[in-house]
Structure 1
Amino acid sequence: MKKSTLLIILLFITIYTYAQRDQTNQEPGSTAFWENLSKLCGKSFEGEMLNASEKDQFYGKKLVMHVRTCEDGKITIPFHVGDDHSRTWVLTMEEGGMIKLKHDHRHEDGSEDRITQYGGTSSNSGMSKIQFFPADQETTDLIPYAATNVWWITLDETSFTYNLRRINNDTAINVKFDLTKEVETPPTPWGWED
């Protein structure tokens, strides 16, 4: 009896040791997500609204994302809606492996829109294929009704999906981009330089 108990304890110790080693050698989800997104740098992809209705502001318009720049710790992704080149998603790698998402909105003359730089920072390192961004204080101060916004991005080998949901609201925005087919790069987004 004592021998079998000792063997069971040794087995649990061995399993625990391997599990701990696996966790310490595994890179954080945010690092893998960042590396996979960086592989798309310089490429453009067309998207579509999921569950779109005629009331949606993007309905019937050509939607293109362009992974424009991938600098140290910063990725910019202009989101072109037809002839509107005012939107750029800006992702920044923060200390501790968290990712910050900001929405840079510009007018055609390059000046900042009154409502810009809203977004949030992931509350943990997330997963390699999905990152969540709850609204931050800057967003709450700028757009009080957006205090409960949660944005998330999913990324896999075939698609990139940008999502927005406001808690206690049935409305959601989901734009899915097909990563299997590159498209022509759109013009420089408003307010940015080549």
Structure 2
Amino acid sequence: MKKLSIALLIMLFVGVKVHAQRDQGPQGPGSLVFWENLSKLCGRSFEGEMINASENDQFYGKKLVMHVRTCEDGKITIPFHVGDDHSRTWVLTMEEGNVIKLKHDHRHEDGSEDRVTQYGGISSNTGMARLQFFPADKETTDLIPYAATNVWWISLDDTSFSYNLRRINNDSSINVKFDLTKEVETPPTPWGWED
């Protein structure tokens, strides 16, 4: 099973690399189209659900809301609210070469940074307009050695946004899908951020 999972992830990576060229239409590289489409959601919030969640999952049974909070030049912040826990924010940054960096900003309720924060990865290429992959970067490997094989990916289309994590060295995965057709009330300001 583990070998099959690794093979599937490798095929996905190769597929993204091979098809990234095809995904460059008149609007430019896939990463720029993805960025533009994500920016159109700025200021809006959407409820999500865990896909294939087990009762042991930390998100199980909790209300999950993403809020595309800020869209500055080269930076998009998306707080991910889990019930009454407002500690998580996904931070996307456009890097040189039109690749996107994903970082996870974790805070305590008093606003101070969690011991484990700022982990994530940089897309290995410009990706596709609807899909971006983020293999764990060196900072993540140094901070969380067991996360060296983590791969995150975000998919985005007209009706949904999904955040995904696969740990290649085991069967653990996280998949949260948000319905973009139903906007919800904006959650509170995430911990450690200012309006």
Task: Report the TM-score range of the alignment, normalised by the length of the smaller protein.
Answer: 0.7 to 0.9
1:5-59 alpha-carbon deviations (Å, 9 max, x no partner): xxxxxxxxxxxxxxx9x96855100000000000000000000000011000000
Q: Which has the higher helix share?
A: 1
Superposed counterparts of 1:51-66, under 5 Å = 51-66=52-67
Alpha-carbon distance change, 193 to 124 in structure 1, aligned in 2, over 3 angstroms: same
Counterpart Cα distance in 1 of 2:24 and 2:169: 36
SS in 1 for 2:97: helix
Residue of structure 2 equivalent to 1:72: 73
Aligned to 2:106: 105
How far apart are the structure 1 equivalents of 2:90 and 2:75? 10
Name the residue aligned to 2:12: none
Gapped regions of structure 1 (runs ≥ 5): 1-19
Residue 87 of structure 2 corresponds to residue 125 of structure 1: no
Q: Which has the larger radius of gyration?
A: 1
Report if aligned partners of 2:24, 2:30 keep a CA contact under 8 Å in 1: no
How many pairs were matched up? 174
Compared CA separation, residues 149 and 107, structure 1 to 2 (3 A): same
* Cα distance change, pair 167–28 in 1 and its aligned pair in 2 (3 A): same
- Sort the Cα spacing of 1:23 and 1:74 in 2 relative to 1 into closer, same or farther, 3 A: closer
Distance of 2:95 and 2:37 partners within structure 1: 17
CA displacement 1:100-122 (0-9 Å, x = unmatched): 00000000000000000000000
User: 1:83-94 alignment to 2 at 5 Å?
Assistant: 83-94=84-95
Q: Are residues 1:184 and 2:182 paired?
A: no
Q: Unmatched 5+ residue regions in structure 2?
A: 1-20
Shift, 1:162, TM fit: 0.1
Q: Judging changes above 3 Å, is the alpha-carbon distance between structure 1 residues 137 and 182 closer, same or farther for their aligned structure 2 residues? A: same
TM-score by length of 2: 0.87
Counterpart-to-counterpart distance in 2, 1:189 and 1:152: 22
1:1-194 → structure 2 map (5 Å cutoff): 25=26, 27-194=28-195
Question: Given the two structures, how large is their TM-score scaled by the length of structure 1?
Answer: 0.87
2: distance between equivalents of 1:80 and 1:129? Answer: 23
Task: State the one-letter code of the partner of 2:107.
Answer: R
Query: Which secondary structure state, in structure 2, belongs to the residue aligned with residue 47 of structure 1?
Result: strand
Runs (4+) of structure 1 exceeding 2 A deviation are 22-26
RMSD, matched Cα: 1.5
1:62-117 deviation per Cα after TM superposition (whole angstroms, max 9, x unaligned): 00000000000000000000000000000000000000000000000000000000
Return the alpha-carbon distance in structure 2 between the equivalents of residues 130 and 154 of structure 1.
4
Distance between the aligned counterparts of 1:42 and 1:60, measured in 2?
26
